[in-house]
Amino acid sequence: MDVEITLRVDGRDRRLSVDTRTTLLDALRERLGVTSPKKGCDHGQCGACTVLLDGRRVNSCLALAVAHQGAEIVTAAGLADGDRLHPLQEAFITNDAFQCGYCTPGQICSAVGMLAEAEAGWPSAVSSDFDADKVVLDDEEIAERMSGNLCRCAAYANIVPAIAQAAGR
C-alpha cells in the first residue's frame, strides 16, 4: 500500500511514494540515495542508523516513513556547513575516533543529539546530582549517554575524547 510523503532531508524537500512498510532508514538509503545512515542490526540495537528527526536523535530503522510525513531529518552528511565540517566531525578526525567507519555517521549524529540533551540539562542514569541544572560531561557520562551506539572496532577509547573535545572539555 503506497503513500505519498514529503521529507525534508539535509535541508532539501524530497517527495516520494513509499510502501507503508518502509522504514525511515530504507526510505533514506534505498529510495532517496542518502547512504550516510547505515544499516547495522536493523533492530534498534546498534545505533548505526541514527539520524536527527525534528532535532532529536532516533534509530531510523525503527521509524516507519509513513508516520513521519513532513519531518525534518538531518543525517551526518548534512551536518557540515559547506566545506566547513561540524565540530564533532572535526573532533572525530583529530582524535582518530574510528577504524572501519561504518558506525561513525550514527555515532556523530547521536553525539550531536546527546550534546543538545546535556545542554538542556537532561540527567542520565549515572548523574550523581540528579536534579542539577548543569550537566558535567565526564567520561562516564559520555559513555552512558552514548551507549546506544556500538562500535565493533571498539574505537571507544578515541570516541569518548572526541566527544569530550567537541563538548568543550
Partner 1 sequence: MRPFSYQQPADVAEAVSLLAGSPDGTFLAGGTNLVDLMRLGVSSPDVLVDVRRLTSDRVEELPGGGLRIGAAMINSELAADRRIRQRYPVLSQAVLSSASGQLRNMATVGGNLLQRTRCPYFQDLSTPCNKREPGTGCSAQHGYHRDLAVLGSSQACYATHPSDMAVAMTALGAVARSQGPDGQRAIPLTDLYRLPGDCPDRDTVLGHGELITSVDLPALSFGANSRYRKVRDRASYAFALVSVAAALDVADGLVRDVRLALGGVAHRPWRAIQAEEALRGEPATADRFRYAAAAELADARPLSGNAFKVPLAGNLIVSVLLELAGGQP
User: Which residue, 21 or 169, has its beta carbon nearer to partner 1?
Assistant: 21
143 exposed, middle or buried (CB, 10 Å; 0-12, 13-18, 19+)?
middle
Residue 110 CA to its chain's centroid (Å) = 3
Number of residues that make up the chain? 169
Residue 119 to residue 74: CA distance in whole angstroms: 19
User: Which residue, 90 or 117, has its beta carbon nearer to partner 1?
Assistant: 117
Q: Smallest distance from the beta carbon of 64 to partner 1, in angstroms?
A: 6
User: Which residue, 78 or 148, has its beta carbon nearer to partner 1?
Assistant: 148
Structural element, H or E, at residue 169? none
User: Which residue, 83 or 133, has its beta carbon nearer to partner 1?
Assistant: 133
Q: Smallest distance from the beta carbon of 83 to partner 1, in angstroms?
A: 29
Q: Smallest distance from the beta carbon of 87 to partner 1, in angstroms?
A: 19
Residue 123 to residue 128: CA distance in whole angstroms: 9
Residue 45 to residue 103: CA distance in whole angstroms: 12
Q: Smallest distance from the beta carbon of 102 to partner 1, in angstroms?
A: 17
Collapsing DSSP states into helix, strand and coil, what is residue 73?
Answer: strand
Question: Are 61 and 42 within 8 A, CB to CB?
Answer: yes
Q: Smallest distance from the beta carbon of 91 to partner 1, in angstroms?
A: 19
Site residues for partner 1 per CB under 8 A: 1, 3, 19-21, 23, 42-44, 47, 50, 56-59, 62-64, 66-67, 110, 113-114, 117, 120-125, 130-131, 143-149
User: Which residue, 96 or 139, has its beta carbon nearer to partner 1?
Assistant: 139
Question: Are 5 and 16 within 8 A, CB to CB?
Answer: yes
Backbone angles phi, psi at 82, to 5 degrees: 65, -125
